[in-house]
Amino acid sequence: MDNRMMLSAPPMGWNSWNTFFDQINEELVMETADTMVREGLLAAGYQYLIIDDCWATRQRDAKGALTADPVKFPHGIKAMADYVHGKGLKFGLYSCCGTRTCANYPGSFDHEFSDAAQFARWGVDYLKYDNCFRPNTVPSSLLYRRMSMALRSCGRDIVLAACQWGTEDVHQWIRSSGAHTFRSTPDIQDSWRSIASIATSQMEKQAYSGPGCYNDMDMLVVGMYGKGLNPETSVGGCTDEEYQTHFALWAMMGSPLIIGCDIRTMTDKTKEILTNRDLIAINQDPECRGPYRLSVYGNPDAFVLVKSLSNGEYAIGFFNFSDVAARVSLNFWDMGLSVSSECALRFHDCISHEELGVQREIFAPTVAAHGCQVYRCRIVEDHP
Ligand code: GLA
């Protein structure tokens, strides 16, 4: 059996954990699937509907198989996958490489091949694979390799989303394990502090993400506004400005875009942020090059990210992590555009979707506290 799975861009979807914790059930899954289609999230690229931890019974059945919690999912997991597929979406499920999951349900340790076969029979397209309760004599790399092998032989194309949290230098070896994405940080929280800390921690690891295996900076908290049933995630909430910056960072840094809010009640602003076609196009750019970071003279909390796009354009993001508005300046010289080139940059604003025209030598927008501005820029001839 072959598995020809190749992810040509970071996966996009929705996951139950950030908002719903263990309060998941059939109704939530079906309503979320309906909403993904009705509200245009599928059309914007959000394909995967992923059920996180707490879907199973506390113990395996008499034959050693994982079974769905009969109260939460009375019709079983296959019925959920069928419903989700019927909407044109793909279906994701969760397990763990240790003996138990992080919320203490059965893990797949030493059941990898039979669990993978079970997931294939149910119609799973994406497996989030966590890192709790791992026997401490067994390195994480062996267990991700093992599940990758099990999925590659299960007869169905299943994305392996390694939820490894960035330990054991995961970025160094995860691509070779066969996994398609790798969580590189501890769990995100619905706060500006958590967003800024995750983004900062991955700035120097951009070269490790790319086609085939993407650095997963964790699920989005956009639109949670401090609500949700997960006490670990819901810690106060963010402003729309901060959610916008969060989304722009994840887009520019090539992370999977996995929505974590309750989309059934999302605000218009949340929907606008999540379906921004210009930022999604930057995230899904075919070459998936990581951006480089330029610092801003005199302001350690401001920086510019520059990402080369496959059509010759550049995505340029101006970020201000400080608590007051600041000018964030980019000297085009620092991107490689010399004065003698007789070239300039034409700017398209990816948040307002307006054309800004041609800018020469330097561009220095004022950026709100915790804010950003992102442009798509084309090199144009500019003779004096
Ligand atoms: C870990 C993961 C989270 C979530 C929970 C579920 O903490 O990092 O994303 O899947 O487990 O228990």
Which mutation among 17, 22, 129, 189 tests ligand 1's pocket best, with the greatest number of atoms within 8 A of CB?
A: 17
Give the torsion through C-alpha atoms of 167, 169, 171, 172, to 10 deg: -150
User: Over 60: is that where the pLDDT of 2 sits?
Assistant: no
28 burial type by CB count under 10 A (0-12 exposed, 13-18 middle, 19+ buried): middle
pLDDT tens across 43-63, in order? 999 999 999 999 999 999 999
Ligand 1 atom closest to Cα of 187? 8
Q: Among this protein's residues, is 169 annotated catalytic? A: no
**Ligand 1: centre distance to CA 330 (Å):** 38
In the block, which residue shows the tokens 């502090």?
A: 193
Helix (H, G, I), strand (E, B) or coil at 13: strand
pLDDT tens across 127-175, in order? 999 999 999 899 999 999 999 999 999 999 999 999 999 999 999 999 9
Which mutation among 130, 170, 188, 255 tests ligand 1's pocket best, with the greatest number of atoms within 8 A of CB?
A: 130
**Ligand 1: centre distance to CA 148 (Å):** 19
Indicate if ligand 1 lies below 6 Å from the C-beta of 127: no
**Ligand 1: centre distance to CA 351 (Å):** 31
pTM of the model: 0.97
Q: What mean pLDDT is predicted for residues 195-224?
A: 97
User: Over 50: is that where the pLDDT of 196 sits?
Assistant: yes
Indicate if ligand 1 lies below 6 Å from the C-beta of 52: yes
Q: Among this protein's residues, is 187 annotated catalytic? A: yes
- H-assigned helices in the chain: 17-20, 26-38, 41-44, 76-86, 112-122, 140-152, 170-177, 192-202, 240-252, 268-274, 277-283
- For atom 8 of ligand 1, the residue with the nearest CA is 187
Which one of 69, 157, 187, 334 is the catalytic residue? 187
pLDDT tens across 249-284, in order? 999 999 999 999 999 999 999 999 999 999 999 999
Query: Alpha-carbon Rg of the chain, whole angstroms?
Result: 21
* 372-381 and 314-320 strand pairing: antiparallel
Indicate if ligand 1 lies below 6 Å from the C-beta of 216: no
Indicate if ligand 1 lies below 6 Å from the C-beta of 73: no
Indicate if ligand 1 lies below 6 Å from the C-beta of 55: no
Q: What mean pLDDT is predicted for residues 308-317?
A: 98
Residues 6+ apart with CB under 8 A from 319: 245, 248, 249, 302, 303, 304, 305, 328, 367, 371, 372
> CA 356 to CA 377: how far, in whole Å?
10
CA 32 from centre of chain: 18
H-helix or E-strand containing 314?
A: strand 314-320
Q: What mean pLDDT is predicted for residues 14-40?
A: 98
Which mutation among 16, 50, 93, 187 tests ligand 1's pocket best, with the greatest number of atoms within 8 A of CB?
A: 187
Indicate if ligand 1 lies below 6 Å from the C-beta of 187: yes
Indicate if ligand 1 lies below 6 Å from the C-beta of 125: no
Which one of 53, 125, 130, 216 is the catalytic residue? 130
Q: What mean pLDDT is predicted for residues 220-234?
A: 95
- Share the mean pLDDT of the chain: 96
Q: Report percent pLDDT > 90 for the chain.
A: 97
Indicate if ligand 1 lies below 6 Å from the C-beta of 313: no
